[in-house]
Amino acid sequence: MTQKKSTGSREGSLKVRVKTAKKRTMSSTLWLQRQLNDPYVVQAKKEGWRSRAAFKLIEMDDRYKLLRHGQRIVDLGAAPGGWAQVAAKKVGSANGHGRVIGIDLLDIDFIPGVEFTVMDFLDEDAPDRLKAMLGGEADGVMSDMAANTTGHKKTDHIKIVGLAELAIEFATEVLAPGGFFVAKVLQGGTEHQLLAQLKRDFKTVRHVKPEASRAGSAELYVLATGFRGRRPGTDVPNAEDADAED
């Protein structure tokens, strides 16, 4: 089920060309053409995944062993549900084992084993509502959230790092010791302050570019594993030296 095996037979396929319709812009035509020729899109449909993004999480999990049976997982920015779908299968939540909580600004169709609600993570009460839904500590917090792009590289970078910082803050409040955190950032360097916080709170911090990420995309993921836990009687995580890997 790995992406290399799944997509290899399609790499040499003839490309589908899409004609520009009167009511469709050139950019929309190019996007549609890219979708039709994307081997991960084709394979996602074949295997029943909600989106090609499922293969990004599958690849990271295959390599770093993030998801295990019975875990509690929070998926921030869950729509259309590819990551939540993978997590539910891995932890067994559809069969009553573990738990997968997902939120997004957009609604998603029902996924067995996933408790989903429409919610803006930027709302002041969002973290507390998520904690109530979770009903205990989490083993992993995943964030594929992305702010609407402006076309200005520096501005877009600041916006997505801001979302990642909020997700990290939430993760340090809900993760159990040993838990993991993964979030989308952009190539060009994760903010020093963000990395410093992750290195303080987690044993190992890495930058990951899954093969399922489009080659021309600036998309990158920061993966932190081995959460150190909070100091007894406080909300402050334990701080020790961390191993950093790019």
**Alpha helix (H) residue ranges in the chain:** 3-8, 26-37, 39-47, 54-64, 82-91, 126-134, 153-174, 192-201
> Vertex 12, ends 6 and 18: CA angle to 5°?
100
Which residues lie across from 225 on neighbouring strands? 204
Measured CA to CA, the distance from residue 198 to residue 212 in angstroms comes to 25
* DSSP-assigned states of every residue in 29-59: HHHHHHHHH-HHHHHHHHHT-SSTTHHHHHH
> Which amino acid belongs to residue 199?
K
User: Tokens standing for 81?
Assistant: 């549900």
Q: For residue 203, indicate whether it is catalytic.
A: no
Catalytic residue chosen out of the listed positions 56, 89, 90, 184: 184
Which positions are catalytic?
184
